[in-house]
Amino acid sequence: MLFKCYWWSNVREAVRFYDAITSIIKDEAANVFIEISPHPVLAISIRECYGLTNQQQSSPLILSTLKRKENEQITLLTSLAQLTTSSHVWQQYFHTRQILPMKNHEEYFDDFPLYKFYLSL
């Protein structure tokens, strides 16, 4: 019964998208969003909510799983690659775990090359 009532209320009542996204941003300090849908339609709204809520004014990483008229595998694999190579994810990973011996480990991120190939002689 709860399942039917839940879906009926979601169909009939107003969606509180801004409240939900700002709660996630404030409570979870989220800066990466993965939109699981047939086409990315919420990215602009998420970006607006993030801009109004986030005090640091950084931009979130918003990834889509599918895009209309595009190859599904390429879209999904591209999003996974962006997630894997994103500094958002790695900085949060290092900040939430005590795996590095140094207190200030921002220098690890400063040395990453900003272009595809870094060749030193």
Given this model, what pLDDT does residue 44 score? 92
Would residue 108 count as lying in a domain?
Answer: no
Looking at residue 78, the DSSP 8-state letter turns out to be H
Q: Cα–Cα distance between 43 and 63 in angstroms, integer?
A: 8
Total number of domains constituting the chain: 1
Asked whether residue 2 is assigned to any structural domain, the reply reads: no
Residue 51 lies in a domain: yes
Domain CATH for 35: 3.90.25
Write out pLDDT tens, residues 56-89. 667 889 999 999 999 999 999 999 999 888 887 7
Which pLDDT value is given to residue 53? Answer: 85
pLDDT for 89 = 78
**CA atoms of 92 and 105, how far apart (whole Å):** 12
Q: Which pair of tokens denotes residue 30?
A: 């989220």
Read off the tokens for 104.
């200030």
At 67 the pLDDT is: 94
Token pair in block for residue 5: 């009532």
Residue 60, in any domain of the structure: yes
**Which residue numbers in the chain have pLDDT < 70?**
1-2, 55-57, 94-121
**Does residue 78 lie within any of the structural domains?**
yes
Is 99 domain-assigned? no
pTM over the 0.75 mark: no
6 occurs within a structural domain:
no
- What per-residue confidence (pLDDT) applies to 40? 92
Give me the domain span that covers residue 80.
14-93
Give the model's pLDDT for residue 55.
65
- On whether residue 69 sits in a domain, the answer given is yes
